[in-house]
Amino acid sequence: MQDVGLPSTPSDALPGDSCPSWIHDPKRSLLFLFFISYLHMIFSLSLFFLAIINNFLYLYFVFTLPPSSSPNSFTRLALFLSFLASLALYPLGLGATASQAQSSRRATERIYDPTPRSTEY
């Protein structure tokens, strides 16, 4: 059967292909994939650290202030809901980072794998 891998050179692109020519260059597309992966990882980790800061603020406002100066019930509810939302960001941030690293590794293996891939099993 026919090789279904990425084209090795821009000249291998199909006629009428509207993709930019650098997409068909495996090394350049791999660099682009790594760039996007690292941007995503930085964004995920920044959300993770914002969640930690939010949790400390919640603990400070709810547990350390005396009742006379503590926030009203609506503010307390909003802080509690943001606390719960930030707890959900922990596994999302760490999971996204691990997922991006794994997908980048798999993409590298696919691009530099010398064995032809076919649709036959």
Going from N- to C-terminal start, the domains of the chain cover 21-112
42-55: per-residue pLDDT in tens?
A: 887 787 788 778 77
Instruction: Calculate mean pLDDT across residues 18-27.
Output: 65
Per the prediction, the chain carries an average pLDDT of 67
Decide which of 94 and 30 is more confident.
30
Q: What is the mean pLDDT of the segment spanning 106-120?
A: 61
Categorize the per-residue pLDDT at 1 as very low, low, confident or very high, splitting at 50, 70 and 90.
Answer: very low
Higher-pLDDT residue of 77 and 26 is 77
Average pLDDT over residues 16-44: 71
* Per-residue tokens: 121: 């099993």
The b-or-e profile of 79-107 (16+ CB within 10 A means b, else e) is beeebeebeebeeebeebbeebeeebeeb
pLDDT for res 101: 64
pLDDT at 112 over 50: yes
Cα separation, 29 vs 25, whole angstroms: 6
pLDDT in tens, 61-105: 777 766 666 567 777 777 778 777 777 766 665 666 666 666 666
